[in-house]
């Protein structure tokens, strides 16, 4: 085998091994990033469920308080008090 063919074989072998190692580590990094994304999405869904439960509980409390108390909307016109005679 000539010196040029040995160098070519060595260079192509090194390139192939380097490519395989690079792809391997790249896939590991992508897999880790995807896992982090899944964990982040699950955490966001958990927070959303907690907030929805808090909102539902607040709505139930509001309805209960409205039943127990007379609440008037601020959009309703104020009731006019009877005029007292001037003194």
Q: What is the residue-averaged pLDDT of the chain? A: 89
- 74: which DSSP letter? T
pLDDT of 84 reads: 65
Confidence of residue 67 (pLDDT cuts 50, 70, 90): confident
Does residue 35 form part of some domain? Answer: yes
Total domains, the chain: 1
Which residues are CB-neighbours of 71 under 8 A, at least 6 positions away? Answer: 65
pLDDT of 5 reads: 95
Whether 81 has a pLDDT exceeding 80, the answer reads no
Does residue 36 form part of some domain? Answer: yes
Range of the domain at 58: 27-67
Mean pLDDT of 62-81: 76
Q: Tell me the two tokens of residue 33.
A: 């990033």
49-60 pLDDT, tens digit per residue, is 999 999 999 999
Does residue 31 form part of some domain? Answer: yes
């Amino acid at each position: 085998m000539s010196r040029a063919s040995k160098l070519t074989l060595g260079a192509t072998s090194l390139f192939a091994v380097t490519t395989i190692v690079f792809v391997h580590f790249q896939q590991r990094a992508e897999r880790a990033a995807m896992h982090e994304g899944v964990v982040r999405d699950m955490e966001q869904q958990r927070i959303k469920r907690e907030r929805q439960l808090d909102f539902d509980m607040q709505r139930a409390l509001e309805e209960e308080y409205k039943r127990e108390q007379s609440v008037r909307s601020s959009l309703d016109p104020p009731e006019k008090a009877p005029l007292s005679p001037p003194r």
